[in-house]
Amino acid sequence: MKNTLNNVEEIAAAHLCMGCGACAGLYPDHVEMVETLEQARRPRCITNVAKQGTIAEQTIKVCPGRQITYPSTENCEQIEETLLDEWGPVLEIWEGHAENHELRFRGSSGGVVNALAHYCIEKGGMQGALHTKARKDIPYLNRSAISTNLEELLEASGSRYAPSSPCDRLYEVESASKPLVFIGKPCDVAAASMAAQSRPELKKNLGLTIGIFCAGVPSVSATFDLMSHLGSTDATDANDLKELRYRGHGWPGEMTVVPNNPEDQKNYASISYAAGWGDILQKKRQWRCHMCADHTGELADISIGDPWYRAIASGEKGSSLVVVRTRRGQRILREAIANGFVSAEKRPLSTLPDSQENLLRVRGAIWGRTITLRALRVPFPRYNGLKLFPVWVKQLSLREKLQSFYGTTLRVVRKRLYRPERWTYFSVRAGVDKGA
């Protein structure tokens, strides 16, 4: 495997691409995102980027797959120092939900992500929100969309446990006349934040960044497994499919296939979120997600996930765990609460580790995994500014520490990480829906 990576296609070949789309979003005339069956989305150079030094350099610079740089935490206003190494900057933790019934009902947890976007559009002087929703023509694939009103925001309610690349429309944020909300997975937010460092217009127009917690992105092939499990005879045929839901319509909601034919409506099939994720989807996550150290969006103004610290009562309405990371995030959350868009109560900082124990263990394993890849001369991502060794020491048992070495060695062999990554392109282009 090559040691020096000269362009985004080479980063992808080295199993490091996360599929965020930042390369395509900053240089849409040179790079496009395509759907793959086995991985997430992948960049395809449509001009000879390798030969265009500056573009190749710039796309590499903003790529979170290769490296993410976290700002110095010396002057960070962290309340509790111990959280910093494990969860990044945390000013406050809240638990709450969207005041709008539909946003809450259709949302993944409590609909707070889109409720905040709604506030920013209605009262915060922002133009819209760049985020991810299902494609209308092929509902099992995602598209990046800019929503400008409640109806459009509702189309994006609920997590899509399938590849997405919201950064592939960053050029529209950069050239917008007013700021926008950016919503994405931690890697998407990292890419947008890194791109903003060298692009003043983009920085100015990222009015609020919201990161959703993420344990890794399942491939489209995983979604086909889910649909087959739910009875689709030919999962790739989208003709009979009206909707594919992974979350929402209750909390945490069921993974549900809704057929197109109104006569079949009663026969739609579903599986619990826990079984759909645990038994099917999570088995097919791209390798780069296993090397992810930031599952909670540490570069975002606000990060949002599920408050799993407590058992959910049957029929309970949705609730979101809200991590405030910056003063801007703090101000906007307070305004959204004061203006009746979000209802929330403050929680102790310990609610975060209590809610996401599994994410902490994965972060703990990254140091051991990185050392192993380095020793085996397999490409690995860099996290400048994160202290991963102390988390490995503190959070993993001896068995888990050893596993971070030998488990990674086994994966290198099984997944053939010493060879260039392989994938099958779909004939459809990744969903960049200009109409939304």
Site residues (vs ligand FAD, CB under 6 A): 103, 107-114, 131-133, 156-161, 164, 166, 183-185, 188, 212-215, 217, 304-306, 320, 356, 359
Q: How far is the CB of 277 from ligand FAD (least distance, A)?
A: 8
Q: What is residue 8's DSSP assignment?
A: H
Q: How far is the CB of 347 from ligand FAD (least distance, A)?
A: 14
Nearer to ligand FAD, 30 or 369 (CB): 369
Q: How many CB atoms lie within 10 A of CB 436?
A: 18
- Is 398 exposed, middle or buried (CB count within 10 Å of its CB: 0-12, 13-18, 19+)? exposed
Q: Which amino acid is at 267?
A: N
Nearer to ligand FAD, 181 or 388 (CB): 181
Q: How far is the CB of 213 from ligand FAD (least distance, A)?
A: 4
Q: What distance in Å separates the CA atoms of residue 151 and residue 218, rounded to the nearest whole number?
A: 27
Nearer to ligand FAD, 5 or 173 (CB): 173
Q: How far is the CB of 70 from ligand FAD (least distance, A)?
A: 20
Q: How far is the CB of 211 from ligand FAD (least distance, A)?
A: 9
Nearer to ligand FAD, 253 or 381 (CB): 253
Q: What distance in Å separates the CA atoms of residue 273 and residue 280, rounded to the nearest whole number?
A: 10
CA distances for 292 relative to 176, 266, 331, 366, angstroms: 31, 40, 29, 7
Q: Which amino acid is at 396?
A: L
Q: How far is the CB of 130 from ligand FAD (least distance, A)?
A: 9
The distance of Cα 280 from the centroid of its chain, to the nearest Å, equals 19
SS3 94: strand
Nearer to ligand FAD, 174 or 306 (CB): 306
Nearer to ligand FAD, 216 or 368 (CB): 216
Is residue 255 within 8 A of residue 271, CB to CB? The reply is yes
Q: Which amino acid is at 39?
A: Q
Pairing verdict, β 31-36 and 42-45? antiparallel
Is residue 196 within 8 A of residue 202, CB to CB? The reply is yes
* 119, two tokens: 């506030």
Nearer to ligand FAD, 38 or 73 (CB): 38
Nearer to ligand FAD, 67 or 282 (CB): 282
From 26, 35, 32, 28, select the one nearest 60 (Cα to Cα).
Answer: 26
Nearer to ligand FAD, 192 or 378 (CB): 192
Q: How far is the CB of 216 from ligand FAD (least distance, A)?
A: 6
Backbone angles phi, psi at 391, to 5 degrees: -70, -40
Q: How far is the CB of 16 from ligand FAD (least distance, A)?
A: 18
Nearer to ligand FAD, 305 or 329 (CB): 305
The distance of Cα 233 from the centroid of its chain, to the nearest Å, equals 29
Q: How far is the CB of 241 from ligand FAD (least distance, A)?
A: 18
Q: How many CB atoms lie within 10 A of CB 350?
A: 13
Q: How far is the CB of 261 from ligand FAD (least distance, A)?
A: 27
- CB within 8 Å of 349: residues ≥ 6 apart: 79, 80, 83, 90, 92, 93
Nearer to ligand FAD, 10 or 95 (CB): 95
Rounded to the nearest 5 degrees, what angle is found at the Cα of 385, between the Cα atoms of 380 and 388? 60
Q: How far is the CB of 419 from ligand FAD (least distance, A)?
A: 26
The distance of Cα 394 from the centroid of its chain, to the nearest Å, equals 26
Is residue 312 within 8 A of residue 251, CB to CB? The reply is yes
